[in-house]
Chain A
Amino acid sequence: MASLFRPATASLRRLATTNARQLHVTARLQAENPPPAEGFMPGVAHSKLIRGTPELALATPDLPAHIVKDGQTTKMNLFQAVNNAMDTALGTDEKAVVFGEDVAFGGVFRCTIGLAEKYGRDRVFNTPLTEQGIAGFGIGLAAAGHTAIAEIQFADYVFPAFDQLVNEAAKYRYRSGDQFNVGGLTVRMPAMAVGHGGHYHSQSPEAYFAHTPGIKFVVPRSPIQAKGLLLASIRDKNPVIFMEPKILYRAAVEQVPVGDYELPLGKAEVLKEGKDVTVIGWGSQLYILENAIQMAEEKHPGLSCELIDLRTIAPWDVETVVNSVNKTGRLVIAHEAPLTGGFAGEIAATVQEKCFLRLEAPVQRVCGWDTPFPLVFEKFYVPDLIRCYEGIRKAIEY
């Protein structure tokens, strides 16, 4: 499952230069011109979701008190935050190892840079090019009580490891009656659209894994989140798949607490409170939703949208979502993955069951179309600003 793709670092860095206030102009330009090579995602740098100052960073919900008290933060992008989390994990757990394809020299996305030099080649090492081997090897390490931090180079290439993850890792504790477990396993994988990734450098496979009891599945939206959620995933007593939105590796930059901290798994975060419609997403999709909400609130004076980052896909935080929808009466869910069988379907069905009397409009699912992820048609494929705005509009005008 070799990948010929290497991130175009320079073009990724040019991401997100658009001010969120120029949204309407951007939308028009996107409609007329070919998509920029660096993708479809304007506005990350100026997003309100990005915590650009130490004060904002330390105000992150769920941060442990000692981290807030310590007050130390440093500017990091998402790949640096991932690197920092693994550095912390290796430094605090002698049994932890990091491995995968090309991780020794720093990884194709630079997530493991410096770790082999710091911790030695027996703790940070390349494997042969075999995803089923990587997953199986990690399961074995974890079954022997060690901490395995495995990398699958792109989420698109996790499928050769599907059997190991679904039939083995997920069922290891259950089938042995808790005699054995592989709680020490974490599988990291870059995922989601990147502007020009085509079929096999763009996928979001969360729904495949959400159908698998025994696996936890986590997606961060920012560097602070990535560090805290990855550390929690590594230390969680269950196998965790950690999906990193690769378009954010360099685009999302914020002040990240320096110390060792975890953010809770299985807990969604309300990013913006609102009273009229609940909007849910995860990963890089949240920045699109933030802009779509801004557009909707500008176009519909008085409208107030609530934005939720689900953070953990499996098992997901039903309570937070249901509480929100019971308050707003309307729900829009957006994800890049195809509509049919996508995780929005699960959320919609659960909300329909638990909020039936409060729902005032059909649940809107704004998702990728039911096609493979296309190259030149990416801007027509993804649930972009306009489509997300339309989803909100339909929900409120029903």
Chain B
Amino acid sequence: MASSLRSAATLLSRTAAAHPRLAARRALATSAARLQASAPEVVVSAPLAHAAADGPKFPGALHSKYTHELAFIKQSAVLPTYRVLDQDGQIVDAAQDPHVDEAWAVKVYKTMVTLNTMDMILYEAQRQGRISFYMTNYGEEATHMGSAAALELDDIIFGQYREAGVLMYRGFTIDEFMNQCYSNVHDYGKGRQMPVHYGSNKLNFQTISSPLGTQLPQAVGAAYALKRAKKPNVAMCYFGEGAASEGDFHAALNMATTTNSPVLFFCRNNGFAISTPVSDQYRGDGIAARGIGYGMHTLRVDGNDVLAVYRATQLARKHAIEHSEPVLIEAMTYRVSHHSTSDDSSAYRSKREVEDWKARDNPVTRFRKYMEAKGWWDQAKEDKHKKETRKTVLAAFAKAEREPKPPVVDLFTDVYDTVPPHLREQEKELHALMAKYPDHYSTAAYAPSK
């Protein structure tokens, strides 16, 4: 107590020298108690008292020490990749076993397979021109399930676009996915955004948007709100290693540490941003090494190991809440799929390379081996689940396709909370044109406006 009081007094006198207004305030603070009470409110000067006694006193790096050796530093030790399961689905170190139960494992595994099935059918639907666009999740299933399983429903999720599995794990139904991709009348987004731009208020999953990296500083603000509301929750923010090159990544990580916001940054490092390999994306030790530069707890994890991702996210979440601090997780994986339906990845990487990855290190297969060793899964269950899932997805697909598009009035609503006069006028103008040229503006496929 005594020493903190002294340092507060020192701080106050130092700043007062530079600020006449503060000097006046200091004169008011006659008692020690008053001084102590006012000190934390004083101008944000660095806590110089904490500087090493024998080191430099520069406020910008208080813990530095002097050196007399001239040495530039390019890289510290390369960060290791945390793993629980090996490629054969065996737990390498028993101490790391999260001891998940059968129900947990079955849910996680089934959701992975369901996601694969949905991806396959919707990818084909796009190829047939039945939906305008699609992005699959192949190879990244473990990052979705492992992290989603470690979160609570009150944790706010901000995604990029390749995290459909997270939403599925939370309970977004096949129908809901289909409605969005078909932009039909049941789409929560009212058909306004491209396919795979999902969002769910009830599942606390903020609606996806196309601009990359924008969700990162937003997640920090949401995390700060959770902290202020004293909720035991985090904001979870997913992004790819390409998006991490955006300025918003820098803004977000720096804001997260300086505002002490309980946000988890979850990077899916899958080796490619469309055609750009990581060697053109960055030259440091991946994304994880940057977290340390921001003063953030950081971990690199094997993204094809669902148990490693689960444990890492669980611990990160606990830390973020207990310490009101952000955590960065870099999940290493491989984008088995094309970037999107508008991309043929064989133009910049060999099909052989992709096939090798699928054969060598498939997150679904790896987890299945673990399940089979436990006696929780077998070929019969696999066949049954795949058959049922395929049936469910196809039924939802057919149903979604039959539904009308949202009413044309929804073109004009929700721009603001209420429709302003100029938009009412534009809406009227459109309706007049529709009435005049009904063949051109056919609304046969659209629900009637209320």
Instruction: Give chain A's interface residues, CB within 8 Å of chain B.
Output: 95, 97, 104-105, 116-117, 121-123, 125-128, 130, 132-133, 135-146, 148, 160, 163-164, 167-168, 171-181, 183, 213-214, 216, 237-238, 266, 315, 318-319
Contact = CB atoms under 8 A, between A and B. Distances in A.
Main secondary structure of the interface of A (DSSP, over half): mixed
25 contacts: A95-B225, A104-B44, A105-B43, A123-B228, A127-B258, A127-B259, A136-B248, A139-B217, A140-B219, A140-B235, A143-B221, A146-B229, A163-B214, A167-B209, A168-B214, A174-B414, A175-B192, A175-B193, A176-B201, A177-B199, A180-B199, A180-B207, A214-B415, A318-B421, A318-B422
Given A138-B221, A180-B201, A238-B416, A133 B207 contact: no
Contact of B421 (A144, A180, A319): A319
Given A138-B221, A148-B221, A173-B415, A132 B251 contact: yes
B190 interface: yes
A319 B422 CA distance: 10
A126 B252 CA distance: 15
B409 to A, nearest CB: 13
A137 B220 contact: yes
Given A128-B258, A174-B192, A175-B209, A105 B44 contact: yes
Contact of A176 (B207, B221, B258): B207
A136 B206 contact: no
Ranked nearest first, the 4 interchain pairs of A and B with the lowest CB-CB distance are: A140-B221, A136-B217, A133-B251, A144-B225
A216 B415 CA distance: 11
Interface centre among A95, A128, A176 (most CB of B within 10 A): A176
B209 A133 contact: no
Contacts of A216: 416
B186 to A, nearest CB: 10
Interface in B131-166: 156, 158
A124 B225 CA distance: 13
Contacts of A173: 414-417
Contacts of B201: 176, 179-180
B170 interface: no
B44 A137 contact: no
A136 B218 contact: yes
Given A130-B251, A237-B417, A179 B222 contact: no
A136 B219 CA distance: 8
A167 B218 CA distance: 13
Contacts of A122: 228
B180 to A, nearest CB: 10
B415 A141 contact: no
A238 B414 CA distance: 10
Contacts of B413: 178
B218 A143 contact: yes
Nearest to A118: B41
A376 B26 CA distance: 42
Interface in B32-83: 40-41, 43-44
Interface centre among A167, A168, A175, A216 (most CB of B within 10 A): A175
Given A133-B254, A140-B235, A167 B221 contact: no
Given A132-B251, A141-B222, A177-B189, A266 B258 contact: no
B329 to A, nearest CB: 19
A163 B216 CA distance: 13
B415 A213 contact: yes
Given A128-B258, A141-B222, A183-B417, A160 B422 contact: no
Contacts of B415: 173-174, 213-214
Given A136-B216, A175-B207, A141 B224 contact: yes
A128 B255 contact: yes
Given A140-B223, A214-B415, 9 more contacts: A136-B221, A143-B206, A146-B225, A168-B209, A168-B211, A174-B192, A177-B188, A179-B200, A238-B416
Contact of A133 (B189, B217, B420): B217
Interface in B197-250: 197, 199-201, 206-207, 209, 211, 214, 216-226, 228-229, 235, 247-248, 250
A178 B200 CA distance: 11
Given A143-B218, A168-B214, A136 B252 contact: yes
A147 to B, nearest CB: 10
A309 to B, nearest CB: 19
A318 to B, nearest CB: 6
B325 interface: no
B422 A315 contact: yes
Contacts of B252: 133, 136
Contacts of A177: 187-190, 192, 199, 207, 410, 414
A95 B222 CA distance: 12
Given A143-B206, A175-B209, A177-B189, A167 B214 contact: yes
Interface in B294-353: none
A240 to B, nearest CB: 11
Given A130-B250, A133-B252, A238 B417 contact: yes
A173 B410 CA distance: 12
Given A139-B218, A177-B187, A238-B417, A133 B41 contact: no
A144 B189 CA distance: 18
Interface string B395-423: 00000000000000010011111001111
